[in-house]
Amino acid sequence: MSYIQDPVFQTIQHIRTPHVVETVIAEVWAGWADKPPAAVQIKPGLTHYKPFKQARIMAEAIVILDDETASTVKLNFFFHIFSQADEAHQEMERAHSQDCLPCLGPPVFPIPQWRTVVWTLPNAPN
């Protein structure tokens, strides 16, 4: 098998492509805050990759809420990518069973088309 056939690797490529992941995060933010952000900037960081199983990507995010006031929110995201959709679903159920601390962004959210669950600090699991 090659990396081209690995769904985990393909998702890593999506997340490491700024305009692709920024669009998805902006859509999630609009659903969470009932208002879309003016812009989202994602800087992917460390990647922990287990071929054909799972991966974790840490990323810094800057969400520009309003162009006029230049108010911004800085967040750290942890993208947990799974090879199977049911694994991502189980991770989401586990996330909903936990008490999430208040933060300036959505505490945990799924990206179903990528079999990914995204945690926001301070709620990221160890």
Q: Cα torsion for 101, 78, 18, 71, to the nearest 10°?
A: 20
Report the pLDDT value the prediction gives residue 2, as an integer from 0 to 100.
75
Tell if the pTM clears 0.85, that is, is over it: yes
Report the pLDDT value the prediction gives residue 77, as an integer from 0 to 100.
92
Report the pLDDT value the prediction gives residue 120, as an integer from 0 to 100.
85
* Domain positions in the chain: 3-120
Beta strands in the chain, from DSSP E residues, in sequence order = 39-50, 54-66, 71-82, 108-111, 116-120
CA dist 41 → 13, 18, 21, 27, 59 (Å) = 16, 7, 9, 13, 10
Report the pLDDT value the prediction gives residue 95, as an integer from 0 to 100.
83
Report the pLDDT value the prediction gives residue 124, as an integer from 0 to 100.
65
CA distance 48 to 19: 21
Report the pLDDT value the prediction gives residue 108, as an integer from 0 to 100.
87
Mean pLDDT by 10 residues, the chain (126 residues): 85 93 94 91 95 95 82 91 94 83 82 93 65
Report the pLDDT value the prediction gives residue 107, as an integer from 0 to 100.
84
